Amino acid sequence: MSKHSKIKQIRASVIKGGEGGGGADYHDQGEGHWIDNHIATSMGRYPEYRQSRKSFGINVLGTLVVEIECEDGTTGFAVTTGGEPAAYMVEKHFARFLEGRDPFDYETIWDQMYFASQYYGRKGIVVNAISGVDLALWDLMGRLRGEPVYHMLGGAVRNELQFYATGARPDLAKEMGFIGGKLPLLHGPIEGDEGLKKNVELLADMRAKCGDDFWLMYDCWMALDVNYATRLAHACAPHGLKWIEEAISPDDYWGYAQLKKNVPAGMLVTTGEHEATRWGFRMLMEMDCCDLIQPDVGWCGGVTELLKISAMADARGIMVVPHGSSVYSYHFVITRHNSPFAEFLMMAPKADHVAPMFHPQLLGEPVPVNGRLNVSALDKPGFGVELNPDVKLYRPYTH
């Protein structure tokens, strides 16, 4: 018999505000931000969509905020992306699997959300919505128990997190104490050999600025084909490229398996931020697609699913380093030996200082200091963050 208060209500909201809203939709940034400045994508084959990812709609969905309130008033919440379409699913479909139920029944709740939506879901925005609900449940469980989520996941296996930084200025990231820097790839196959040369020159320049021991990686955001990715990997090897990330379409498991065979010895192939659920990651692992997987905790199915994905990876000697995800990643990474470091996305427009990833939605979001975060920064109930009351929530649907 459960002694916990039952779930009274689940609410799904979005944040209005348009361009520059930021937060969970980290691509929704204002003009001049490094994250939207001529980054290689598969839309680059259309010249009108080459300069800016916002031009083809990378920011159309926006943030989803899920709140789950218990009968005793305790409320857990989470933010992810998915916007109004995800809010519709939470309110009109998934709410029935939560209200009146013990919040600690998270396995059954996950199972029911996934299988009830399987005929239209399985990946993408539906699993974003499921992830948002799951993360709000873990936050709620932590608040009810007065414990941080990482305690409920088994406790910390080390005293601090160490981070690499994703952004346009690995040289500045090194000065800020990060262990590595991941550059966005700027030129795609459509820009030919000249573009490839520029990609290699940028890496060489950063290597000269950062020295030999600093990790440098390229994030290719699904823009390449196997041939181009193989050529890029070999051209970048003399400049010490540690890994080549998300080089090709996430649907091309066969291509990843080939790329992993093609890259120079010692270079890692990484992917997974646009993959979802234990079945998607099982495919990546069984087809030997990569050395390191990068589930986004707000997109892959939440913490409940990440635990299953991570156990499979551990048994195969594959590292799990979540994509972005801020606190949702930190509470997980600190509990797992096969997650030895974490990603920090540089949200400052010029990547020249540390800024919280989910600004302005969250208050109390911890950020790395000297590229590190002590476990004590996570010692608050749930995920340890609060919704910023100054950010107006809009609830487009009710049930």
Q: In whole angstroms, how close is the CB of 216 to ligand LR3VJJ5N at the nearest point?
A: 14
The answer to whether the annotation marks 93 as part of a ligand binding site is: no
No. of helices (H) and no. of strands (E), the chain? 11, 15
Sole binder of ligand LR3VJJ5N in the list 128, 166, 326, 361 (CB under 6 A): 166
The answer to whether the annotation marks 201 as part of a ligand binding site is: no
Residue with tokens 């929704």: 28
What does DSSP say about strands 386-387 and 362-363: parallel, antiparallel, or unpaired? antiparallel
Q: In whole angstroms, how close is the CB of 4 to Mg ion at the nearest point?
A: 38
Q: In whole angstroms, how close is the CB of 162 to ligand LR3VJJ5N at the nearest point?
A: 17
- From ligand LR3VJJ5N, Mg ion, none, interface partner of 139 (C-beta below 5 to 8 A by class): none
Instruction: Compose the 181-200 pattern: x for residues touching ligand LR3VJJ5N by CB under 6 A, - for all others.
Output: ---x----------------
Q: Which residue is nearest to Mg ion (CB)?
A: 219
The answer to whether the annotation marks 245 as part of a ligand binding site is: yes
Q: Which residues contact 132 (CB under 8 A, 6 or more apart)?
A: 12, 64, 65, 66, 78, 79, 80, 82, 86, 90, 298, 302
Interacting residues with ligand LR3VJJ5N between 220 and 259 (CB under 6 A): 221
Tell me, yes or no, if 323 is annotated catalytic.
yes
Q: Which residues contact 177 (CB under 8 A, 6 or more apart)?
A: 368, 369, 370, 371, 372
User: How far is it, in rounded angstroms, from Cα 158 to Cα 333?
Assistant: 10
Q: Compare residues 22 and 76 and give the one whose CB is closer to ligand LR3VJJ5N.
A: 22
Q: Which residues contact 226 (CB under 8 A, 6 or more apart)?
A: 247, 248, 252, 255, 258, 259, 262
User: How far is it, in rounded angstroms, from Cα 216 to Cα 165?
Assistant: 10
Q: In whole angstroms, how close is the CB of 297 to ligand LR3VJJ5N at the nearest point?
A: 13
How far is CA 397 from each of CA 90, 92, 389, 394, rounded to the nearest angstrom? 9, 8, 20, 9
Residue with tokens 């990790």: 215
Q: In whole angstroms, how close is the CB of 58 to Mg ion at the nearest point?
A: 13
User: How far is it, in rounded angstroms, from Cα 130 to Cα 123?
Assistant: 10
The answer to whether the annotation marks 53 as part of a ligand binding site is: yes
Instruction: Compose the 123-162 pattern: x for residues touching ligand LR3VJJ5N by CB under 6 A, - for all others.
Output: ----------------------------------------
Q: Collapsing DSSP states into helix, strand and coil, what is residue 231?
A: helix
- From Mg ion, ligand LR3VJJ5N, none, interface partner of 76 (C-beta below 5 to 8 A by class): none
Q: Compare residues 188 and 301 and give the one whose CB is closer to ligand LR3VJJ5N.
A: 188
81 lines the binding site for ligand LR3VJJ5N (CB under 6 A): no
Interacting residues with ligand LR3VJJ5N between 308 and 337 (CB under 6 A): 323-324
- From ligand LR3VJJ5N, Mg ion, none, interface partner of 36 (C-beta below 5 to 8 A by class): none
Q: In whole angstroms, how close is the CB of 274 to Mg ion at the nearest point?
A: 9
- From Mg ion, ligand LR3VJJ5N, none, interface partner of 35 (C-beta below 5 to 8 A by class): ligand LR3VJJ5N
Sole binder of Mg ion in the list 25, 134, 219, 343 (CB under 5 A): 219
Sole binder of ligand LR3VJJ5N in the list 12, 15, 24, 39 (CB under 6 A): 39
- Three-state SS for 247-308 is CCCCCCHHHHHHHHHHCCCCCEEEECCCCCHHHHHHHHHHCCCCCEECCECCCCCHHHHHHH
Q: Compare residues 134 and 246 and give the one whose CB is closer to Mg ion.
A: 246
Q: In whole angstroms, how close is the CB of 324 to ligand LR3VJJ5N at the nearest point?
A: 5
Does a cis peptide bond (omega within 30 degrees of 0) precede residue 170?
Answer: no
Q: Which residues contact 13 (CB under 8 A, 6 or more apart)?
A: 64, 65, 67, 87, 393, 394, 395, 396
The answer to whether the annotation marks 27 as part of a ligand binding site is: yes
- From Mg ion, ligand LR3VJJ5N, none, interface partner of 87 (C-beta below 5 to 8 A by class): none
The answer to whether the annotation marks 213 as part of a ligand binding site is: no
Q: Collapsing DSSP states into helix, strand and coil, what is residue 141?
A: helix
List the catalytic residue out of 151, 323, 353, 399: 323
Residues that bind ligand LR3VJJ5N (CB under 6 A): 35, 39, 166, 184, 219, 221, 273, 323-324, 343, 345
Active site residue ranges:
323
